[in-house]
């Protein structure tokens, strides 16, 4: 296993970490939590020492499953995170409710403290500032009690907005979505965090499945390697000198093996060198929807993620009309029902022009 320093701390973390939101669904629903926990133990055996958890993952069983595994390991042999935001507190903050949520995560994970506790899923500066003002004092209190070691934040904001958060000097690390699709518009955030000595953890390195599902488009990532496209996509992220951990969502032991292989004999490079190397490769893909589904709250019940998936097909040179008709089985005319309220665009982690895309679909796919 290849290990990196987490920011300017003395923590040495595995270059690839395990995200715990992809335990096998049928085992979770059947209550076979011990089978899911085997994946954590296998990952640890392979040298992975960084595990990322949260409430609500896997039918709200992720922390419990992860805790089953961690309780069998020495506490100083792994790092564990969890997350909190106003959503986990049902929209109402109090120091007591904050502490109750934190203690619940600790209990489920079977640990006395969290190595990292995230102010979770900051979508824009306004949302961040509101939650920061309400909750940061509770983070500091929990840290003073020894319940958390590092106060961190997770975000889907673009680089310039990330810089605003980083300049607060309030966080020891951040968790961001970053991959071969969107690396161009998160550059400044990564550079700013690195200059502050923050640890940087990356989620969604496979672009929500877009990269492995389009191997021909992303074959360029595998040049001069013996890696598969998904492995090469993981390696692309992990090779950034500024990035501490690249998270891989693992359902099976094979997923663990793939992640470990991706960082064998890893060569780190400054982000600026990587940007320069890849700028002329592939196609400009920042406009692809990565399928996070945060936009799935349409007041007129348009299944926006499916329409954005179809629009991806057009960007990739395929037929979005066929994608809607034969893959999703939904009429393009549904897109014309958009009332242009803007809710979806507010929720979009990539700030995509969803309203314009729905209008284009409605006009061209009849």
Residue 202 phi/psi, 5-degree rounding, is: -115, 130
- Which has the closest alpha carbon to 350: 86, 161, 83? 161
CA 230 – CA 212 distance, rounded (Å) = 5
- Strand duo 245-249 + 16-19: pairing: parallel
In this structure, the dihedral spanned by the alpha carbons of residues 68, 71, 74 and 75, taken in order and rounded to 10 degrees, is 100
- CA–CA separation, 183 and 275 (whole Å): 8
Contact assessment for residue 17 and residue 237, using Cβ atoms and an 8 Å cutoff: no
pTM: 0.82
pLDDT at 237: 96
| CATH architecture for the domain at 3-278 | Alpha-Beta Barrel (3.20)
Contact 278, 338 (CB under 8 A): no
Which pair of tokens denotes residue 282? 């592939």
The β-bridge partners of 201 are 175, 245
Helix axes 229-238, 253-262, angle to 10 degrees: 50
Q: Is 271 left (phi over 0), alpha (psi -120 to 50) or beta?
A: alpha
**What residue ranges of the chain have pLDDT lower than 70?**
184-185, 282-286
Q: For the chain, where do the domains classified as CATH 3.20.20.100 start and end?
A: 3-278
CA separation for the pair 153, 164 (Å, rounded): 13
Contact call for residues 48 and 18 (beta carbons, < 8 A): yes
Q: Which pLDDT tens digit goes with each residue over 279-310? A: 777 655 567 887 777 888 899 999 998 899 89
């Amino acid at each position: 296993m290849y290990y990196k320093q987490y920011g300017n701390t003395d923590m040495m973390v595995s270059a690839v970490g395990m995200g715990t939101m992809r335990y096998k669904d049928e085992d979770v629903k059947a209550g076979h939590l011990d089978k899911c926990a085997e994946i954590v133990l296998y990952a640890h055996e392979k040298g992975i020492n960084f595990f990322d958890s949260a409430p609500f993952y896997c039918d709200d069983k992720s922390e419990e499953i992860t805790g089953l595994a961690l309780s069998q390991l020495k506490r100083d042999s792994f790092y564990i995170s969890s997350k909190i935001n106003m959503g986990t507190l049902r929209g109402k903050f109090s120091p007591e409710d904050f502490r109750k949520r934190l203690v619940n995560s600790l209990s489920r994970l079977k640990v006395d403290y969290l190595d990292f506790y995230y102010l979770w899923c900051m979508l824009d500066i306004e949302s961040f500032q509101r939650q920061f003002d309400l909750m940061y004092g509770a983070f500091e209190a929990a840290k003073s009690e020894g319940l958390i070691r590092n106060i961190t934040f997770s975000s889907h904001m673009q680089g310039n907005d990330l810089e605003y958060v980083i300049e607060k000097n309030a966080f020891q690390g951040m968790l961001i979505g970053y991959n071969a699709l969107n690396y161009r518009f998160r550059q400044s955030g990564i550079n700013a965090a690195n200059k502050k000595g923050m640890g940087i953890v990356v989620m969604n390195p496979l672009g929500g499945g877009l990269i492995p599902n389009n191997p021909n488009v992303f074959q360029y990532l595998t040049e001069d390697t013996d890696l598969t496209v998904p492995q090469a996509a993981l390696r692309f992220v992990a090779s950034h000198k500024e990035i501490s951990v690249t998270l891989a969502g693992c359902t099976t032991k094979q997923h663990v093996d793939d992640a470990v292989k991706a960082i064998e004999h890893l060569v780190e490079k400054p982000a600026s060198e990587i940007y320069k190397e890849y700028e002329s490769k592939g196609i400009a893909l920042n406009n692809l929807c990565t399928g996070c589904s945060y936009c799935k709250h349409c007041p007129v019940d348009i299944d926006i993620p499916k329409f954005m998936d179809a629009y991806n097909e057009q960007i990739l040179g395929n037929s979005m009309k066929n994608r809607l008709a034969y893959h999703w089985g939904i009429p393009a005319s549904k897109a014309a029902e958009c009332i242009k309220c803007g809710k979806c665009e507010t929720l979009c982690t990539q700030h995509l022009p969803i309203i314009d895309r729905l209008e284009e679909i409605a006009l061209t796919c009849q």
